[in-house]
């Protein structure tokens, strides 16, 4: 007669105990895994930003000046632009913008040849903000986005000469906007490498670029409240006019005192005050700077090429955005003693 082998089945209580132990272990491990992932995102964003800094340094070495943050393009394709076209409004909107990233990832003859993906960050929506005028690819658009002509996805033209996704923005005291030929008291001009290197605290203590703030709502953080368009092509203006506020181009161009100042502490909003329309926030456009890493910190790229993880308020307190508007005409000094921070 065959010998019977006794088997032992798990009781219901034993199964529940095992499941409970697994659940406890998952509860212990998941926060650690989440923290490790966020730490990896922070490192990757910093590495990408460092690559951008190297490309900017190459551009400046070759051209003696920093590229403009953006200009109105002379044609529908290519990177040419005319100084006389850089007015308050785009004279030919179908041509779109030429962005500083175009000069760095190989889109232009002067390009540094870095990968287009260097302008992205793994910790933000879709790797970065879309172009203002994304073009024909639906993946380049955000839900509900309209381009400068009021068109929805996926209008072929205009298409900005800009990295597909932008997680980073430049210091608006170094990277000029398009306003080279406006009729306001001040205009933009190109900032030279020598000027920027001569900042009061030196290139190791002057911010060149940083990360955009992502409010996790289709990049409405970068929507201009005036025209409801995403403005990923803009730099962040670190200074305010003493009389004109964020309208720095209407600040009187002359006088015996510095005409610009750093924001005061209350003008840098707390995390729970952030939301849409930060790119032209009336307190300070610096509120469009991201703070989504551990403890509300952000990666900041400095002129000398190094990257630091810091809080935005700390950069203002230490006056790390420079001592003047390098890319604006008229008296450009910043009052470093103004206000308490």
Strands 298-302 and 307-310, sheet pairing: antiparallel
- 3-class DSSP state of 11: coil
At residue 191, the pLDDT reads 96
193 neighbors 61 (Cβ within 8 angstroms): yes
At residue 109, the pLDDT reads 47
pLDDT: which is higher, 321 or 36: 321
Strands (E), the chain: 70-72, 97-99, 129-130, 165-166, 168-170, 207-211, 240-241, 260-261, 298-302, 307-310, 334-335
Checking if the pLDDT of 35 tops 70, the result is no
Neighbours of 92 (CB within 10 A): 13
Q: Is the peptide bond before 158 cis (omega within 30 degrees of 0)?
A: yes
Q: How confident is the model at residue 22 (pLDDT cuts 50, 70, 90)?
A: confident
316 neighbors 286 (Cβ within 8 angstroms): yes
Strands 260-261 and 240-241, sheet pairing: antiparallel
Checking if the pLDDT of 13 tops 90, the result is no
Average pLDDT, stretch 33-40?
Answer: 72
Is the pTM higher than 0.75? The answer reads: yes
Percent of the chain with pLDDT over 90: 79
Cα(198)–Cα(216) distance, integer angstroms: 38
Question: pLDDT tens digits, residue range 161-188?
Answer: 999 999 999 999 999 999 999 999 999 9
- 3-class DSSP state of 172: coil
Q: How confident is the model at residue 27 (pLDDT cuts 50, 70, 90)?
A: confident
At residue 340, the pLDDT reads 75
Asked which of 142-146, 198-202, 230-234 is least confident by mean pLDDT, the reply is: 198-202
Cα(21)–Cα(73) distance, integer angstroms: 62
At residue 32, the pLDDT reads 60
- Element at 19 (helix H, strand E): helix 12-63
Average pLDDT, stretch 39-55?
Answer: 93
Cα(86)–Cα(71) distance, integer angstroms: 7
49 neighbors 55 (Cβ within 8 angstroms): no
Residue 274 is encoded by which pair of tokens? 């952030």
Question: pLDDT tens digits, residue range 316-334?
Answer: 999 999 999 999 999 999 9
Average pLDDT of the chain is 91
| CA nearest neighbour of 284 among 256, 315, 255, 323 | 315
Question: In the chain, what are the domain boundaries?
Answer: 12-71+84-90+119-129+165-335
Cα(185)–Cα(23) distance, integer angstroms: 66
Average pLDDT, stretch 21-41?
Answer: 73
Average pLDDT, stretch 95-112?
Answer: 78
Checking if the pLDDT of 73 tops 80, the result is yes
> What letter would DSSP give residue 313?
H
Checking if the pLDDT of 101 tops 50, the result is yes
- 3-class DSSP state of 329: coil
């Amino acid at each position: 007669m065959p010998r019977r082998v006794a088997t032992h089945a798990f009781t219901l209580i034993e199964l529940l105990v095992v499941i409970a132990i697994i659940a406890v272990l998952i509860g212990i491990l998941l926060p650690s895994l989440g923290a490790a992932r966020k730490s990896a995102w922070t490192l990757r964003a910093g590495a990408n930003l460092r690559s951008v800094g190297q490309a900017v340094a190459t551009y400046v070495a070759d051209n003696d000046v920093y590229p403009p943050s953006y200009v109105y393009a002379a044609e529908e394709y290519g990177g040419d632009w005319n100084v006389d076209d850089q007015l308050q409004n785009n004279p030919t909107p179908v041509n779109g913008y030429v962005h500083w990233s175009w000069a760095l990832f190989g889109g232009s003859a002067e390009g540094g040849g870095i990968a287009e993906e260097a302008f992205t960050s793994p910790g933000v929506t879709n790797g970065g903000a879309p172009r203002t005028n994304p073009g024909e690819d639906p993946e380049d658009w955000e839900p509900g986005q309209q381009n400068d002509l009021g068109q929805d996805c996926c209008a072929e033209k205009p298409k900005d000469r800009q990295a597909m996704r932008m997680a980073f923005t430049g210091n608006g005291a170094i990277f000029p906007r398009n306003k080279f030929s406006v009729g306001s008291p001040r205009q933009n001009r190109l900032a030279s490498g020598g000027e920027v290197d001569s900042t009061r605290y030196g290139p190791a203590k002057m911010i060149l670029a940083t990360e955009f703030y992502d409010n996790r709502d289709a990049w409405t953080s970068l929507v201009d409240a005036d025209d409801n368009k995403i403005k990923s092509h803009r730099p962040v203006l670190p200074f305010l006019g003493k009389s004109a506020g964020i309208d720095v181009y209407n600040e009187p161009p002359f006088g015996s005192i510095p005409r610009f100042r750093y924001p005061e502490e209350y003008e840098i909003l707390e995390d729970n005050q952030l939301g849409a329309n930060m790119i032209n926030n009336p307190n300070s456009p610096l509120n469009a700077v991201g703070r989504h890493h551990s403890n509300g910190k952000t990666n900041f790229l400095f002129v000398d090429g190094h990257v630091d993880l810091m809080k935005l308020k700390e950069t203002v307190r230490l006056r790390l955005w420079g001592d003047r508007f390098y890319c604006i005409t008229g008296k450009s000094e910043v009052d470093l003693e103004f206000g308490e921070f």
